[in-house]
C-alpha cells in the first residue's frame, strides 16, 4: 500500500466518522426545532461582522439565537459577537484547518437546544477544507467579499458547490474595488447553477433585512 493510498483511506474513515456524528447532530437539531446555519469563507471576508449584525437583527425581532465560532487561535471573534447579547462560544482548533462535527458536539455541552430558534456556526476561515465536513447544519452559507475577485467560485468550486446560499459581503466597498456583480454571479452559477445569491453590507446594513425574511422562511 502506497503512502497516498493510506492517506486516502484514513481520510475516508475520518470523514465517515464525521458523517455519523453530523447525522446525530442534525437529528438533535431537528427535534429541538433549532435552525442551524453554518458560515464558510476565506479569512477576512467578513464572516464575523456579518454574523454580529445578523445576531443583533434576529434578537431585535425576538428570535432566540446563539453562535459557535471557530478559529485556530484567540477568542477575539467570540468576544466581538458577544456584543450582540447572544450566547456565544469559541471553538479553538489549534492547528486544525476546519471545524468538524465532534467539535460542534463538544461545544454544545451544557446548552439546551430547546431554548433556541437559531444556531449559527462560523467555521475557520478557509475556502478548501471545511467543504468536506458536514456539521449537521440545515443551511450552509458561503461568503465572499467584493474585494476578493469575481472568479473565486471558479477557483474554489467544491465549497461553493457544497453551500446552499452565497452571500457577497462588503457591498459598501464595491465601487472602490470596481466589483463586477454580473461576473461574480456568472462564476457562482457556473459551479452551482440557480444558487440563491445575496449582496450585503454589514456596515451600512444593505441587504441584511431581506436576509431576515429568508432565515424566518427556512426556520
Which positions from 91 to 130 touch a copy of itself by CB under 8 A, shown as an x/- string? ----x-x--------------------------xxxxxx-
Q: Closest separation between CB of residue 154 and a copy of itself, Å? A: 5
Q: Is the dihedral of CA 48, 50, 52, 54 positive or negative?
A: negative
Q: Contact between 18 and a copy of itself (CB under 8 A)? A: no
End-to-end CA distance of the chain: 47
Q: Are 65 and 219 contacting, i.e. CB atoms less than 8 angstroms apart?
A: no
Question: Which member of 6, 83, 218, 219 binds a copy of itself (CB under 8 A)?
Answer: 6
Among candidate residues 125, 115, 130, the one with its CA nearest the CA of residue 51: 125
* H/E stretch holding 189: helix 181-191
Q: Are 203 and 181 contacting, i.e. CB atoms less than 8 angstroms apart?
A: no
Nearer to a copy of itself, 116 or 121 (CB): 121
Which positions from 127 to 166 touch a copy of itself by CB under 8 A, shown as an x/- string? xxx--------------xx-xxx-xx-xxxxx--------
Name residues contacting a copy of itself, limited to 57-86 (CB under 8 A).
Answer: 71-74, 76-77
Separation in Å, CA 1 to CA 63, 87, 93, 95: 53, 48, 31, 28
Q: Closest separation between CB of residue 173 and a copy of itself, Å? A: 6
Q: Are 217 and 183 contacting, i.e. CB atoms less than 8 angstroms apart?
A: no
Classify residue 10 by its DSSP letter. Answer: H
The residues binding a copy of itself (CB under 8 A) are 3, 6-7, 10, 13-14, 17, 42-45, 71-74, 76-77, 95, 97, 124-129, 144-145, 147-149, 151-152, 154-158, 170, 173, 176-177
Amino acid at each position: 500500500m502506497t503512502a497516498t493510498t493510506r492517506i486516502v483511506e484514513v481520510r475516508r474513515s475520518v470523514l465517515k466518522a464525521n458523517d455519523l456524528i453530523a447525522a446525530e447532530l442534525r437529528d438533535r437539531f431537528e427535534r429541538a426545532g433549532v435552525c442551524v446555519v453554518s458560515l464558510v469563507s476565506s479569512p477576512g471576508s467578513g464572516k464575523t461582522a456579518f454574523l454580529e449584525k445578523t445576531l443583533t437583527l434576529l434578537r431585535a425581532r425576538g428570535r432566540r439565537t446563539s453562535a459557535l465560532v471557530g478559529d485556530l487561535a484567540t477568542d477575539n471573534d467570540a468576544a466581538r459577537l458577544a456584543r450582540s447579547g447572544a450566547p456565544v462560544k469559541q471553538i479553538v482548533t489549534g492547528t486544525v484547518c476546519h471545524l468538524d462535527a465532534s467539535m460542534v458536539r463538544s461545544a454544545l455541552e451544557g446548552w439546551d437546544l430547546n431554548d433556541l430558534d437559531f444556531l449559527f456556526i462560523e467555521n475557520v476561515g478557509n475556502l478548501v477544507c471545511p467543504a468536506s465536513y458536514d456539521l449537521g447544519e440545515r443551511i450552509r452559507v458561503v461568503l465572499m467579499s467584493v474585494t476578493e475577485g469575481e472568479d473565486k467560485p471558479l477557483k474554489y468550486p467544491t465549497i461553493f458547490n457544497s453551500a446552499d446560499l452565497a452571500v457577497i459581503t462588503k457591498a459598501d466597498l464595491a465601487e472602490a474595488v470596481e466589483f463586477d456583480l454580473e461576473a461574480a454571479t456568472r462564476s457562482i452559477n457556473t459551479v452551482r447553477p440557480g444558487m440563491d445569491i445575496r449582496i450585503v453590507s454589514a456596515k451600512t446594513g444593505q441587504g441584511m433585512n431581506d436576509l431576515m425574511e429568508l432565515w424566518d422562511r427556512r426556520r
